[in-house]
Amino acid sequence: MSDLRTESDAHHVAVFRDGDAHPLVVQNAPDGGRPYLHPIEAPAGAGSVTEDQPGHHPWQHGLYIGLNDVNGVGFWSEKLWPATADLDGTFSSRIVGVPRTEVGAAHWAVETDYLDPQGERMFRDLQRWTLRDHDTRLELRLEWTLTADRDLVFGRYDYGGLFLRMPYRDETGGSAVDSEGTNGPANRRAGWRCGCRYRRRGARRASRCWTIRATSSIRCPGASTTSSASVRRRASPDRGCSPPNGSAPSSTASSWVTPI
């Protein structure tokens, strides 16, 4: 495991391998915005597995939590979708405590107030993150706690929760395969997802591929959830996507990993 160090202020935490100038992971906690992780770098230095604010979905930010309907208030499209802007709430987030490191791991926390359209707080979100660097694999673990200021009803929606925005581009030859056998973007649960970006090097097409795994659990009472995800660089990058460790498609996956 590599030694890690952090640099932080009230609204950011950057995690570095010792001796590296470029961070492995950056936690963003903007005042007036939702918290999110971007970039998350592939462990072998092949580039970021996250994308921030693409032009067609500017409310999507790397790895983040998005909620669509809480007492009829939206916390997904950040008032950027005209049809629902009047129903959207807002956020205020900040880093809490002092990030700490140990051999091969970094820990930090971020807190967010979720505000209704009138600016009154509905609930508070506390995210406690741990990054473990296994050299060829990064593991992110999240403990997520919600504390309500009023009675809340979470509406059913086709997408939401822990959400990953990946730099997937079908038109440039990218591919994305998941544990359920889907090839391409999908709004569905998946235990892992492999994404590739292809580039032409002379007569040879080179690829950069990553496998994402995600798991989650819910503990009651206290509205607390625990999730983890790992990012692994594929050992044979020119072979494209394949199931990690030979695993077959599974219907028991437990978290969304969605690159649309």
Q: Which amino acid is at 219?
A: R
Cβ neighbours for 6, distance < 8 A, ≥ 6 positions apart: 13, 14, 15, 16, 99, 100, 101, 106, 108
The pTM assigned to this predicted structure is: 0.78
- The rounded distance, in Å, linking the Cα atoms of 79 and 99 is 31
Q: What percent of the chain has pLDDT over 70?
A: 68
pLDDT band at 236 (very low <50, low <70, confident <90, very high): very low
- The rounded distance, in Å, linking the Cα atoms of 30 and 86 is 21
| Average confidence (pLDDT) over 169-198 | 69
Least confident of 111-115, 143-147, 153-157, 222-226: 222-226
DSSP characters over 93-139: EEEEEEEEEETTEEEEEEEEEEE-TTS-EEEEEEEEEEEEE-SSEEE
| Average confidence (pLDDT) over 36-45 | 88
| Average confidence (pLDDT) over 42-70 | 84
- The rounded distance, in Å, linking the Cα atoms of 239 and 97 is 44
Q: What percent of the chain has pLDDT over 90?
A: 45
Tens of pLDDT, residue by residue over 57-114, are: 888 889 999 998 999 999 988 898 999 899 999 999 999 999 999 999 999 999 999 9
Least confident of 12-26, 85-99, 190-204: 190-204
- The rounded distance, in Å, linking the Cα atoms of 150 and 121 is 9
**Above 60 in pLDDT, residue 200?**
no
